[in-house]
Structure 1
Amino acid sequence: MNTAPRTYAIRVDGHLDDHWSAWLGELDLARDDDGTTVTVSVADQAQLHGVLAGLRDIGAVITELRTTGTPAPICPSVLERPLQTERLTLRPATADDADPTWAFRQLKSVNEWLTGCPADLEGYRELFSKPARLATTVILTLGHDPEAPTIGDFMLRREDAWAQLDVADQARDTQAELGWVLDPAFTGHGYATEAGRELLRYCFEDLGVRRVTANCFLGNDASWRLMERVGMRREVHAVRESLHRSGRWLDTVGYAILEQEWSPA
């Protein structure tokens, strides 16, 4: 008996340009507002493996692979358990965290440096609650009480390092990327630095990665100064590399720290 071919949805981090469609076998590319791209592969396992290999060849980070028409899989959080510092708790995000994080993310002074933020709370809830987004979001609360206020959120994403194909297996899950947003009402107390140092500890001691990266607009000096306070070094200064919503092409900077460069505070 003949059966219909399976259809696979593949989500990758970042927006892929249309010119990669031919590289991937003339597949349609759909770019989502959350900064990811979805492509659909209709074929047998051999073609699916070819598409996956093509994505790896161009350095794309695959965040989801599923058969269409079935529920999206549950994505486990990169943060496997809550962490506590002297003054803070860092825990995996849930859909219920959309409202408290919206309260500061929609502020003009905060959104100035973000990739984007939906114009209304309902749109933000939908974006925030996507499994891939929840899996990489860490909620920062003040104190250790379960009812403690949310004062920020971090992005923690584990990823493959770039590698040549014959050694790609050795590069899987060997690095992580950090990002952060802090409620302006709680800046100036060292909370972001305290949380950042704890997440670096978690990356190196618990996840066992070899390298952690972070990046931002050069104009976001509060962010890159934080990178330096937690021990990261500037590796990249790209001149007028990114288009800001103001219409200006702005410089960006990239920071990193290796496991052997890190030391507990």
Structure 2
Amino acid sequence: MANLASVSWPVRTARLAIRPATADDIVATWAYRRLDEVNRWITRAPATLEEYGAQFVDPDRLANTLVIERDGQVIGDLMLSVEDAWAQAEVADQATGVQAELGWSLHPHHAGRGYATEAVRALIRLCFEGLGLRRLTASCFAANEASWRLMERVGMRREAYTIRDSLHRSGTWLDGLTYALLADEWRGERPPD
């Protein structure tokens, strides 16, 4: 089973550092998560810093949140939710903690410079090499082109396009997309026959 405590933090890339979020990151992440161009796509859009802070420090959420830093400044965040795969009862123990759902948001002031791609590639490497996971997924509204294009840039493959299955806070049902990547695909291995 994946163990984030075994990771040597921060994870560094050429330009970024990725580390587990702490309560001290509330204000820095609120700075961009409150912006319309960001919160239109994310799961929660609290109206106040206080409401956001209470949600941010929820132990289950905080345990799945990593922050992206550039030169010591928080410029985005990543979600890494390790999960069990579906399995038949007789082999369920072998499916415990073998996959993860990924998510991300980036301050718009830092968009267009490849930071999100660099951070998500590092997260994928961490999942497959550091945590030994076998499968990753990510989902978004189909209208969130920046997000699904990022999924494609990092090598994820589209698995599902769902029609009006996702209720947006605007009250409109929107189409959804799900992408995935297997460890052997990421390594360039040929799937077993």
TM-score (norm 1): 0.68
Of 106, 109, 114, which residue of structure 1 is paired with 2:37? 109
Q: Do the aligned partners of residues 216 and 79 (structure 1) sit closer, same or farther apart at CA in structure 2, a change above 3 Å counting?
A: farther
Task: Indicate the residue corresponding to 2:146 in structure 1.
Answer: 222
Q: Do the aligned partners of residues 200 and 79 (structure 1) sit closer, same or farther apart at CA in structure 2, a change above 3 Å counting?
A: farther
Secondary structure (helix, strand or coil) at the match of 2:137 reads strand
- 2:95 is aligned with 1:171: yes
Q: CA deviation at 1:237?
A: 0.5
Of 204, 208, 231, which residue of structure 1 is paired with 2:155? 231
Q: Do the aligned partners of residues 79 and 183 (structure 1) sit closer, same or farther apart at CA in structure 2, a change above 3 Å counting?
A: farther
Which AA in structure 2 matches 1:94?
T
Identity fraction in percent: 57
Which AA in structure 1 matches 2:85?
A
Alpha-carbon deviations, 1:100-139, whole Å to 9, x = none? Answer: 0000000111111111121110111111011111110000
More contact order relative to length (CA 8 Å, sep ≥ 6):
2
Task: Indicate the residue corresponding to 1:246 in structure 2.
Answer: 170
CA distance in 2, matches of 1:221, 1:79: 34
Q: CA deviation at 1:263?
A: 3.5
Task: Indicate the residue corresponding to 1:91 in structure 2.
Answer: 19
- 2:187 is aligned with 1:259: no
CA distance in 1, matches of 2:35, 2:14: 28
Q: CA deviation at 1:201?
A: 0.5
* Gapped regions of structure 1 (runs ≥ 5): 1-75
Over the residues paired in the alignment, what is the CA RMSD in angstroms? 1.4
Alignment check: 8 A CA contact 1:78 1:158 kept = no
CA distance in 2, matches of 1:217, 1:185: 22
Flag the structure with higher helix content.
2
Of 126, 151, 176, which residue of structure 1 is paired with 2:75? 151
- 2:68 is aligned with 1:140: yes
Q: Do the aligned partners of residues 79 and 98 (structure 1) sit closer, same or farther apart at CA in structure 2, a change above 3 Å counting?
A: farther
Secondary structure (helix, strand or coil) at the match of 2:17 reads strand
Which AA in structure 2 matches 1:85?
T
Secondary structure (helix, strand or coil) at the match of 1:234 reads strand
Which AA in structure 2 matches 1:84?
R
Alignment check: 8 A CA contact 1:159 1:174 kept = yes
Alpha-carbon deviations, 1:136-170, whole Å to 9, x = none? Answer: 00000003xxxx11100000111100111111001
* Alignment size in residue pairs: 185
CA distance in 2, matches of 1:255, 1:112: 20
Task: Indicate the residue corresponding to 2:137 in structure 1.
Answer: 213
Secondary structure (helix, strand or coil) at the match of 1:113 reads coil
